[in-house]
Amino acid sequence: MKSQAFQGGVFHTQLPGGRAGATIVIDADGISARVPDSAGGETFRIGFADCSLQQGGASGRMVFCRDSNRSTTIFCEEKQFLSTLAASGGDRVASALSTLNATEGGKRARTRRHWLVGLSVAAILGFAGYQAFSRAGNAAVRALPISVDEKMGELAWSAIDKHGPEVKDAVVVGAIQKMADRLAPQSKSFAGKRLAFRVTVIDAPIVNAFCLPGGRIVVFTGLIRKASDPDQVASVLGHEMAHATLRHGLQRIAQSAGIIVALQIMVGDLGGLMAFVTEIAQQGLITSYGREQETEADMEGLLMAHGAGIDGSGLERFFAVLEQEHGDVPEVLQWLSTHPQLTERRATIKQRWKELGPSKAVAWEIDWEAVVKRAGNPSLTAEYKPESAGVDSGVPRADDAPDATAP
């Protein structure tokens, strides 16, 4: 048969940024995607026998073709793409298409059942505007079970650019996990259950850390080497963990997905949201927050540090070092581009820490000099084997409530 070409794209870890536009060709045996010369000029291929299908994206019409180990994803939104797949793949893609059609049929049925809800939301949009819609969307996100956060976080983790190799050193990873374990019992709970926070350390000179929805914490060795004591790193971790417990990542996903997917979330249809996660994770938007969210995470992180016996002023002291070395918004901290300015932020943190009152500091059983040294030399490695990572010690927060269902 004659091959047919379409315009779309491909996700793959070998590509700069993990994704690129591509010319997609469907032939008798499978699907090929050739990226432009500017992106390497490579061709990625998925055979029909190794192909699973999913439909979604911001428009709901994007078709994603994935291989069995999910290392390659080819996607296209052109109208004839799906019908050409059906005509070319024969029995070999019939099962995948049948599953896709059944899923889409279920979505349509749920959409019909909830059309009155959608119309009501549309009326709210027309009356109250974007802000009211944003608040309603955030309320819908807060009502979701934390299993959604965990699924979103794993999808995002599989898609994002890691920027470097994972550090396995027990001295380095164990120290950072110990910080997370001390903070975790002070984090907000969902129906009495807390997120299981797991630490991954990446060897890269980036002065940064972030926490994905569901509790996966990523710390770059550049942050460890820049900090002068454990309290500084622990305070940064508290801030990032707060983003997860306040569900800021899910809110960003919902806001970036557009009205169609946001409406689906509000009526309980998460299919479009799941399909959109890979796209937004590739663009780094899943951990890119607004100023209000950053301030909320600062305040929640300080509360967690206070309850855990950690010197929360470490966050302000760490920012003081960065401000002195790099100015008010250092380029080395790309994540600060949407944060409040450092001078303003330091003043707010100092005031809030003072308001929280005395806290009995608990000494760290960590050789920080050894941690910093080994973080700068990944070849010194004794592999970390987690024992207590993600375990909830059961120590309650002062504001825990038995019937709490959302932060």
Task: Give the CATH number of the domain where residue 78 resides.
Answer: 2.30.29.30
**Is the domain of 221 the same as that of 367?**
yes
Residue 118 resides in a domain: no
Residues linked to residue 62 through DSSP beta bridges, in sequence order: 56
Residue 25 resides in a domain: yes
Residue 341 resides in a domain: yes
**Is the domain of 77 the same as that of 193?**
no
Distance between CA atoms of residues 219 and 117, nearest Å: 42
The gap from C-alpha 5 to its chain's centroid, in whole angstroms, comes to 33
Residue 384 resides in a domain: no
Query: Structure tokens of 29?
Result: 């045996």
Residue 386 resides in a domain: no
Total domains in the fold of the chain: 2
Enclosing domain of residue 26: 4-110
What does the pLDDT read at residue 270? Answer: 53
Distance between CA atoms of residues 66 and 50, nearest Å: 8
What does the pLDDT read at residue 399? Answer: 56
Which residues have C-beta within 8 Å of that of residue 145, sequence separation ≥ 6?
Answer: 190
Distance between CA atoms of residues 224 and 221, nearest Å: 5
**Is the domain of 351 the same as that of 297?**
yes
User: How far is the first Cα of the chain from the last one, in angstroms, to the nearest whole number?
Assistant: 57
Residue 405 resides in a domain: no
The gap from C-alpha 344 to its chain's centroid, in whole angstroms, comes to 27
Query: Structure tokens of 181?
Result: 């374990």
Residue 336 resides in a domain: yes
**Is the domain of 206 the same as that of 319?**
yes
Largest CA distance in the chain: 76
**Is the domain of 88 the same as that of 165?**
no
Give the torsion sign (CA, 55, 56, 61, 64): negative
Over the chain (407 residues), the average pLDDT of each successive run of 10 is 79 82 88 88 90 71 84 87 78 58 46 42 40 52 76 82 89 96 92 88 91 93 93 95 89 62 54 58 61 89 95 89 63 43 85 88 92 80 55 48 38
**Is the domain of 89 the same as that of 190?**
no
- Global pTM? 0.59
Query: Structure tokens of 121?
Result: 């939301």
**Is the domain of 92 the same as that of 162?**
no
Question: Is residue 211 within 8 Å of residue 197, measured between CB atoms?
Answer: yes
Query: Structure tokens of 398?
Result: 């002062």
